[in-house]
Amino acid sequence: MKLPLGKVPVEVLNEIVFKNLGAKREEVVIGPSTGFDGAVIDIGDNSLIVSMDPITGAVERIGWLAVNVNANDVATFGVKPAFFLSCILLPEKADQQIVGLICSQMNEASKNLGVAIIGGHCEVTPGLVEPIVVGCVIGITDKNDYVTAGGAKPGDKLILTKSAGIEGTAILATERYDLLRKMGMSEELLRSAKNFFNQISVVRDGILAYKTGGVNAMHDPTEGGILGGIHEMADASKLGVKVFADKIPVAEETRKICSFFKIDPLNLISSGAMLISAKSSFAEKIVKTLKAEKIEASVIGEFINAKDERLFVQNGSEKPLPRPECDSLWIALTKYK
């Protein structure tokens, strides 16, 4: 079976990846599992939250993204990120300037989040066309003082912060700027779309929501976008879900760029948004708390008990919630080079 671009399909993870996990250790509370954003390791009275993600297809701000995207995963546990490691893989054409750019971006992003860079690796790799940065972030919390993507409960309200396709919008506006300008998109709109990079951190979203109370689960919708993230959350929680299409915010910049590329904004990589599953009685309080801190938030659905029931309410009718096979970003980048 030929694999699609982007994340490996869930069935491949279950049939191959998750069957090859090395030795078992009692410190590992949560290891590799579908829909979870990171691992949990108990050390004495503390829990370590550890997450790793690569950054590909986003050259201009690759170092900055490596820190923020990985920090986001730790924040989904309601935990502040503390330490960062990176593996920087460079193409043969690379020079000192690109190393300096990536490292300065990682330095700036880490300082902004209060994160220490504690190690990693950097090399020139034959066969690469563009740089790849693999990041790892670690957070520390009191033992059991966290939530996971798999903790949603039936009846929980599903909250989304900000809007769909934030990271994908910024990447396409940056990587395909000349094409979009040539096809008539305004410089003002594209400049605004590029600035979506400034929304990508969800560390404040996650910490604020968790401290408000009533949060049972959180998840950072990356590849596969909002719809992919919702499926991952439902998979991890072994629940069904009902999602209301008209409740999902999509920015004008995202709509116009996705319309040009003929891609679905709800399947577009969405770092910068946070999915929060909260007790119904706390949902409105969480939304108000986030908005008070100038973080937009909307209730977009609810979790239900029947785990095979994934419903998408659109234009007044219910249909199965689409599960993306490939992120819209890859479709756009490969079709319009």
| CATH code of the domain containing 78 | 3.30.1330.10
**Could you tell me if 194 and 111 lie in one domain?**
no
**Could you tell me if 277 and 321 lie in one domain?**
yes
**Could you tell me if 96 and 165 lie in one domain?**
no
- 66-76 pLDDT tens trace: 999 999 999 99
Return the structure tokens found at 228.
Answer: 């992919």
**Could you tell me if 220 and 133 lie in one domain?**
no
CA–CA separation, 90 and 16 (whole Å) = 29
Residues 6+ apart with CB under 8 A from 105: 61, 62, 63, 64, 67
pTM of the complete model: 0.91
Last residue of a domain, one of 108, 142, 176: 142
**Could you tell me if 110 and 187 lie in one domain?**
no
Whether 235 has a pLDDT exceeding 80, the answer reads yes
Residue 147 lies in a domain: no
Residue 271 lies in a domain: yes
Confidence of residue 59 (pLDDT cuts 50, 70, 90): confident
**Helices and strands of the chain, counted as H and E runs:** 11, 13
Specify the DSSP class assigned to residue 130: S
> What pLDDT is attached to residue 128?
94
Residue 3 lies in a domain: no
Last residue of a domain, one of 119, 142, 165: 142
**Could you tell me if 213 and 314 lie in one domain?**
yes
Residue 317 lies in a domain: yes
**Could you tell me if 260 and 221 lie in one domain?**
yes
Residue 273 lies in a domain: yes
Whether 57 has a pLDDT exceeding 70, the answer reads no
**Could you tell me if 33 and 127 lie in one domain?**
yes
Do 228 and 168 meet the contact criterion of CB atoms below 8 Å apart?
no
CA–CA separation, 41 and 59 (whole Å) = 32
**Could you tell me if 92 and 200 lie in one domain?**
no
**Could you tell me if 234 and 290 lie in one domain?**
yes
**Could you tell me if 182 and 264 lie in one domain?**
yes
Whether 91 has a pLDDT exceeding 70, the answer reads yes
Beta strands 81-90; 116-124: pairing state: parallel
- 108-166 pLDDT tens trace: 999 999 999 999 999 999 999 999 999 999 999 999 999 999 999 999 999 999 999 99
> What pLDDT is attached to residue 334?
87
Confidence of residue 1 (pLDDT cuts 50, 70, 90): confident
Residue environment code for 199-218, b if the CB has 16+ CB neighbours within 10 A, otherwise e? bbbbbbbbebbbebebbbbb
Whether 7 has a pLDDT exceeding 90, the answer reads no
Specify the DSSP class assigned to residue 198: G
Residue 148 lies in a domain: no
| CATH code of the domain containing 209 | 3.90.650.10
Residue 1 lies in a domain: no
**Could you tell me if 122 and 233 lie in one domain?**
no
- 20-56 pLDDT tens trace: 999 999 999 999 988 788 999 999 999 999 999 999 8
Beta strands 310-314; 240-244: pairing state: parallel
Among left, alpha and beta (phi > 0; psi -120 to 50; other), residue 124 is beta
Residue 316 lies in a domain: yes
Whether 223 has a pLDDT exceeding 70, the answer reads yes
Whether 18 has a pLDDT exceeding 80, the answer reads yes
Domain containing residue 114: 10-142
Q: What is the SS3 assignment for 107?
A: helix
* Number of domains the chain contains: 2
- 171-217 pLDDT tens trace: 999 999 999 999 999 999 999 999 999 999 999 999 999 999 999 99
